Amino acid sequence: MPRNKYPEETRQKIIEAAIKTFQDKGFEQSTILDIVANMDGLTRGAFYHHFKSKDEVLKAITDILFYGESPFERVRHEKGLNGLQKLRKAFKLNVAESNNELRLASESLLESPQFFLENMKFNAILGKEFIQPLIEEGARDGSIKVENPRLIAELTIMLFSIWLTPAIFSGDIKYLEDKAMLSNEILTTLGLPLFDEEFLEIGEEYVEIMADIMEKHSADAKTDNSNTKQS
């Protein structure tokens, strides 16, 4: 058998096929054969050349989602910004630069205990090592007025990673917008006015994009189920 000249491209195709499969069927219900069916002509042998199991693919997706370049790290050392401005910019970049298809897939993966645990571990690190230092910087320069930066950092990450996550608390666009506004009121009352006008606009665009993607995947899933029944 000839050697694959483009192993990274093949690996990426497998990951993309897995993402689509996990979106459509959920992680627990998906099989390796389901993933292979979405691999655009690649064989099961190609899958096993790069991954031993679907759990290993999940680990690869986790690495892409959680451990790439962080906007919180990028803004930490920027000059001319106070702590609040850095925090706002980091959150805006995190939303604006996100791969929405991949983010939606990550939400469908929350049913996996392994992924959920990895997600919680990452968020704990994000809160302690990135968000808390920016809140502390804001407390020193006067742009943020909180009494306990650690607790506010933990609350902030819990709001974003759990309460504002549609896969855990689902609802229509208005429901999501209402939760965002209430989150803003909570944080502002505690001394962290995170949501400025630009942030809210980015958030509205993000909610609309995610709603469109979710609707598209729901329609695709219904079509696939209909075709399966007919066959």
Instruction: Summarize pLDDT for 177-231 with one digit per residue, the tens.
Output: 888 889 989 999 999 998 888 877 777 776 666 566 556 555 555 555 555 555 5
- Alpha-carbon distance of 47 to 216, in angstroms, equals 27
Tell me, what DSSP letter sits at residue 28?
A: T
Equal fold, 7-53 vs 69-206: no
pLDDT of residue 162: 84
In the chain, the largest separation of any two C-alpha atoms, in whole Å, equals: 66
Around 157, how many Cα atoms within 13 Å sit in the side-chain half-sphere? 21
For the chain, which residues make up each domain, given as ranges? 7-53, 69-206
Global pTM value: 0.72
Tokens representing 103 are 């983010």
Fold of 7-53: Arc Repressor Mutant, subunit A (1.10.10)
Residues lower than pLDDT 70 in the chain:
1-6, 67-68, 97-108, 167, 206-231
CATH of 69-206 among 1.25.10, 1.10.1740, 2.60.40, 1.10.357: 1.10.357
Instruction: Summarize pLDDT for 122-133 with one digit per residue, the tens.
Output: 889 889 999 999
